[in-house]
Structure 1
Amino acid sequence: MSTQNALLTILVEKINNDTLVLPTLPAIALKVRKAADDPDINLHAMGDVIGQDPSLTARMIKIANSAYMGRTVKVNSINQAVTRIGLRQIKNIATALAMEQLFVSKNEVVGQYMKQEWTNTVNVVANSMAALQMYVARTKKRDLSLDTITLAALVHNIGVLPILTEAERHEEVFANPTFLDVAIEKLSGRIGGSIMREWGFGNDFVNVAENWRDLGFIPDNLSYIDFVRIGAALSGKMDNQKDAVFNLAVQRGAIENVSDLTSDEFKDMRDAAKQIFA
């Protein structure tokens, strides 16, 4: 049996036996999510929680001052940033900003794959966010939120992490990127859904991580997965299904015309979104 087939067999067995080691959320994200779920939490207390992590603090202030929030007056402290962003959004935004910590490895080869995966993911996030912003501007509907699409797009391909971690034990596999692509395409959705359930995330996130590649999965109502698919298609991750993704997006009302996705307005929104993770 080839190394590639052996690894694929190992992955499938571990998935079926529920023994595949899944990533855990960064500690600061867990703290923020726990605090956000406390009905007695206030903005000052939330600022104290986020302030325990200097990197997250700096990024939260950056996002509060970004075009994402649509404000011109700058804030300079975490308490001001939390006040501007609001408790309702802080849970998903803080989690999203902490996610980059997962895309690292002490193994040089795996680390390069992780770095590339993070770069690709940020592109999907930026395109997904811009698509949703265009939709909201056109329809005035606000049942889908920007903070949730940010996090949903960030975790859309989270199932790739355990695959790369498992493959780390078989370095010769990395000489064949085609095989890794096949393993990721076949298994990452199933693994991603398991990770979302393990983390206690809701059905919107489970559906995105599990089914974003499967165009046969179509929710009754317009959902975050529609915008993640647009983001993925624009980022070159669904080349074989790109036209189908765009046609479905038009049919479901996510976009009015495919040409909207190449407009200057869309590009400005996408570039502003990407700056959040720069």
Structure 2
Amino acid sequence: MPIKLEHILKRVQALPPLPTSAMHVIALTKNPETTAKELETVIGQDPALTAGMLRQANSAYYGYARRISSLQEAIVMLGFQVTQGLAMSAAVAPLLKTQLVGYEIEQEGLWRHSMLTAMAAKRLCRNRKFPFGDVAFTAGLLHDIGKLIISVYVQEVGDYLLEKVTKANLSYVDLEEKVIGYNHATVGGFLAKSWNLPEDLVQAISFHHAPSHAPDYSQLASVIHVANGLASLLGVGGGVDSFLNPLQQEALNQLALKESDLELLMADLGEFLVDPTLFS
């Protein structure tokens, strides 16, 4: 039942655009001339964005001993790139909290999985001393946005995909492409382009299941691939395909990761799962 590209793109265009305030924040944080006051002015015009950012900034993940009570304080203490990630979190939360029947993802399941993947990606970058941890956080947050589009098609052929994945020597994402014509990672890249996101994010999303194919950002894509795998192993909201897209040894090799490294990262992330505010 391969689906025509025009049908996929129509569904992409039907999704609401990112809030203007979030897109403005991304543009401002890319500009070295931007001041904290300018960011505060833009974010402060969107109450939902402001509330979401302050809630995340005060979660256990950021670990500040005292409460961050103002937007300006959050921007100064956390920095511009973290602010970008928090703004994106607040902007996409309503989309990612949608139930996706095709993937058997309950309400807020994709949000929880995406947040944990984002945190895993940033921790992994810190562990490997990669300089793009904040970009990796945003990429991890957005890596599965293609499921918002593909879920309706997976719902039609889900039983067939599960039957075939046990018989064929293919991952679930490979079967998505074979049966539907496109997989959720590729379609996520289409959506990221329609939102005018930077190319590093587009490639990280598009190739998070095939990081070696990313033309320019294979290392970032490998980080998201591994972070996604860790979030799935922790059993947080990934969906019916969670354990059917195994970690690729090629990605582990590129990041110089051993099994002991993965165990330490999982233990580190597991501590955050007890924080009730983390996914609110």
* TM-score, structure 2 as length reference: 0.72
Of the three residues 252, 255, 262, the one matched with 1:253 is: 255
CA contact (8 A) 2:54 2:69 kept: yes
Of the three residues 42, 52, 57, the one matched with 2:50 is: 57
Distance change >3 Å, CA 108–CA 203, structure 1 → 2: closer
Tell me, which stretches of 5 or more residues in structure 2 are unaligned?
163-171, 234-240
Query: In structure 2, the residue corresponding to 1:223 is in which secondary structure?
Result: helix
Which residue in 2 is equivalent to 1:152? Answer: 139
Distance change >3 Å, CA 114–CA 45, structure 1 → 2: farther
| Counterpart AA for 1:242 | P
Q: Bigger shift: 110-119 or 186-195?
A: 110-119
CA contact (8 A) 1:26 1:101 kept: no
Which residue in 2 is equivalent to 1:139? Answer: none
Q: Distance in 2 between matches of 1:67 and 1:222?
A: 30
The structure having more radius of gyration, on CA atoms, is: 1
Shift of 1:215: 5.3
Shift of 1:83: 1.2
Q: Bigger shift: 230-239 or 65-74?
A: 65-74
Shift of 1:20: 3.7
CA contact (8 A) 2:203 2:217 kept: no
CA contact (8 A) 1:189 1:211 kept: yes
* TM-score, structure 1 as length reference: 0.72
Of the three residues 140, 148, 157, the one matched with 1:161 is: 148
Tell me, which stretches of 5 or more residues in structure 1 are unaligned?
137-141, 168-172
Shift of 1:29: 1.5
CA contact (8 A) 1:67 1:272 kept: yes
Of the three residues 125, 147, 152, the one matched with 2:118 is: 125
CA contact (8 A) 2:144 2:188 kept: yes
Q: Does structure 1 residue 28 correspond to structure 2 residue 29?
A: no
Which residue in 1 is equivalent to 2:80? Answer: 87
Shift of 1:130: 2.9
| Counterpart AA for 1:143 | P
| Counterpart AA for 1:153 | G
Q: Does structure 1 residue 242 correspond to structure 2 residue 246?
A: yes
Shift of 1:111: 11
Q: Does structure 1 residue 211 correspond to structure 2 residue 198?
A: no
Q: Distance in 1 between matches of 2:216 and 2:23?
A: 31
Q: Distance in 1 between matches of 2:38 and 2:246?
A: 45
CA contact (8 A) 1:104 1:111 kept: no
How many residues are matched?
Answer: 252
Identical amino acids, percent of aligned pairs: 23
| Counterpart AA for 2:201 | F
Which residue in 1 is equivalent to 2:70? Answer: 77
Distance change >3 Å, CA 214–CA 249, structure 1 → 2: closer
Distance change >3 Å, CA 20–CA 240, structure 1 → 2: closer
Cα RMSD (Å): 3.6
Partner deviation per Cα, 1:132-159 (whole Å, 9 max, x = no partner): 23223xxxxx4222x2111101211211
Q: How does 1:165-244 map to 2 (within 5 A)?
A: 174=155, 177-178=158-159, 185-186=176-177, 187=182, 188-214=184-210, 216-217=212-213, 223-234=219-230, 235-236=232-233, 239-240=243-244, 242=246
Shift of 1:177: 3.8
Q: Distance in 2 between matches of 1:129 and 1:56?
A: 21
Partner deviation per Cα, 1:196-217 (whole Å, 9 max, x = no partner): 2222222221212212222552
Q: How does 1:37-52 map to 2 (within 5 A)?
A: 41-52=34-45
| Counterpart AA for 1:32 | V
Shift of 1:34: 4.3
Q: Distance in 2 between matches of 1:215 and 1:67?
A: 30
CA contact (8 A) 1:66 1:272 kept: no
Of the three residues 143, 152, 158, the one matched with 2:131 is: 143
